[in-house]
Amino acid sequence: MPESAPLQQPETTQPTLISDAPSIFSDFDLYLFGQGRDYRIYEKMGAHQRTINGITGTHFAVWAPNALAVSIIGNFNNWVRSITPMQLRHQDLGVWECFIANLHIGEVYKFSIYSRFNNYSADKTDPYGFAAELRPQNASIITDIHQHQWQDSTWMQEREQRQQFGSPISIYEVHLGSWRHIPERGAPGAAEEDRYMTYRELAPALAHHVQELGFTHIELLPITEYPYDGSWGYQVTGFYAPTSRFGSPEDFQYFVDYMHQQNIGVILDWVPSHFPKDGHALSYFDGTHLYEYADSRKGEHKEWGTYVFDYGRKEVCNFLIGSALFWLREYHIDGLRVDAVASMLYLDYMRKSGEWVANQYGGREHLEAVDFLRQFNEAVYAEQPGTITIAEESTAWPLVTRPTYVGGLGFTYKWNMGWMHDMLEYMHLDPIHRRYHHNNITFSLMYAYSENFLLPLSHDEVVHLKGSMITKMPGDLWQRFANLRAFYGYMWGHPGKKLLFMGGEFGQWHEWNFAESLDWHLLTPPSDPHHAQLMHFIHDLNQLYQQEPALSSLDGDPNGFSWIDCHDSDNSVISFIRRSKQDDETLVFICNFTPVPRHGYRLGVPHQGTYMEILNSDDLHYGGSGLVNPQQMPSAPIFWQSCPHSILLTLPPLGTVILKKQLTHVEEGFIVHESQLR
């Protein structure tokens, strides 16, 4: 039917099916969708308010190629399946459509599907729905996501510069449901109410905390709609809907906008690796394994109780990549951290012999998933330049962060899981035994430049009886905090971007619990001051990280790092250099991982001159013992540790020390140190 043809006007203001409404899909739309290349498919699939030939209502579209009949159900028709049927307009592709006049924003709906096979019928939420009811309800909600007036133009213009490889990126990882409740758990005079904060309540509170800590970005555990709180958001049912737990889609847009106005980037955890079996969502969508592989040896994660997306099906890939670009485009998200990439790359991931099927060449590599990941990264960089993608990938798969045109997967960064496991194992040891595990500290530099790495201390390391960051440290109270400060100091000096999960910034004792607020009361008297002092140390680390180009500008270049001494295992001491393109910006790091102070420690330095301590984790301000180096340390022409010059300094117990050579200026024949000019 031509689009210009007049529609039959309904005689009532009640929602009315307009049976002669034209299709909104062009042949080219459907061709691109069938090829997996229509990355704005969400603008036509799902539910959208439209005015067609003067009639205002909601247009619905759903992909269900194996359905015999599909109808729209909701409060407006008392959930009766026979009242509002959809029409199969595109037989080959299986797209169903209908237009309902006078059906407006805020109405709930589902697709009622009757399959061609097995006498199967089910009521499904909209795969492309922009909002959903608060669990345990699960219907989709007709929503207009274009009402928010964005005010983050400055951030968006500067984002590409802020997120380039040589920029400092330190990330505060957050689970919105447990960062802070109202009221705070343990707060004096707390009432019995204990609820989530909303997106609009979280925005100023979280932004203030992140600014106080000096992080450049936040990373949110999945906020894509999910039914089960205990999945932390990793079992997604709404790939286009922010969870209703904290508010509406416009509320979440406000949240992101507010963060950008405070110069804080927002990264989302995004989960294209699997989805739950909940009957109202994607599983067995039209009476067939439409979104998942039919063969359980490829299509099911038995240990997770979830299904695996069928990456060989173009429409499924289109659905997922459309979702990724949707968040970047419509919500101004700055990057996506892709969860469980390893589970996507290997056909035998967490599967026993006989429980998986080899690829066409007899190998274990999941070739369709590899192609999908490459297509995803290519689409992100083409459509949303300046954004970043991060792979949570724990294996030795090569070229994860290399361009697809050289055979890579195309991610911007990869989590350095090897560094994380080695260092947590090392820090857990009693210092008397660390000399026998010195390789745990140094091994990561053997491969540090094989990928663009991000160093994570994530939520996964503080759950399932692993303990919190502070309880992983050995020793008494003082030693635990000293160990943690020394570890953080080393982490911020190590090549790679940084990520720290919430609670780790102030040394929360409790292991993370998704159902409870963080222990914010630890930061106020009469609690031990070590917690607030640790947070002060994180602030100063982040401030130094952003001020000193040597800590980020050559992150992916081996010329940005060199060991001074990585062999002093007897003392459990390491020392190294971080460089930028300018020699006068070079920093020297020394880490002492024993509780033994070392006076008169000779250290090789890369340049002749006078060195000053710019950060010491043992400073009294941070809760340390105060064993610092306040004096200038002039170098002597004594060859030491392969360096032409050396200095003497004091190494504090369980401490990280950062030094910088003082600039000199020649004035009227005199050499004047920078410190004298201030």
- The answer to whether 392 is a known catalytic residue is yes
Structure tokens at 64: 């269900």
In eight-state DSSP terms, residue 234 is -
Compute φ and ψ for 672, nearest 5 degrees.
Answer: -115, 130
Of 422, 440, 308, 319, the closest CA to residue 32 belongs to 319
In eight-state DSSP terms, residue 192 is S
Pairing of strands 664-667, 670-673: antiparallel
CA-based radius of gyration for the chain: 28
Instruction: Compute the distance between CA of residue 615 and CA of residue 619 in angstroms, rounded to an integer.
Output: 8
Instruction: Compute the distance between CA of residue 453 and CA of residue 419 in angstroms, rounded to an integer.
Output: 10
Structure tokens at 239: 């790939």
Instruction: Compute the distance between CA of residue 611 and CA of residue 80 in angstroms, rounded to an integer.
Output: 79
- The answer to whether 133 is a known catalytic residue is no
Is 646 in contact with 605 (CB distance < 8 Å)? yes
Instruction: Compute the distance between CA of residue 363 and CA of residue 64 in angstroms, rounded to an integer.
Output: 33
> Considering 38, 219, 392, 393, which one is annotated as catalytic?
392
> Considering 107, 225, 339, 548, which one is annotated as catalytic?
339
Instruction: Compute the distance between CA of residue 335 and CA of residue 392 in angstroms, rounded to an integer.
Output: 13
Instruction: Compute the distance between CA of residue 42 and CA of residue 320 in angstroms, rounded to an integer.
Output: 11
* Beta-carbon contacts of residue 415 (< 8 Å; ≥ 6 apart): 390, 391, 392, 393, 394, 453, 454, 456, 458, 499
Instruction: Compute the distance between CA of residue 402 and CA of residue 510 in angstroms, rounded to an integer.
Output: 39
Q: How many other CB atoms are there within 10 angstroms of residue 559's CB atom?
A: 10
Per DSSP, the three-state class of 130 is: coil
Please give the positions annotated as active site. Answer: 339, 392
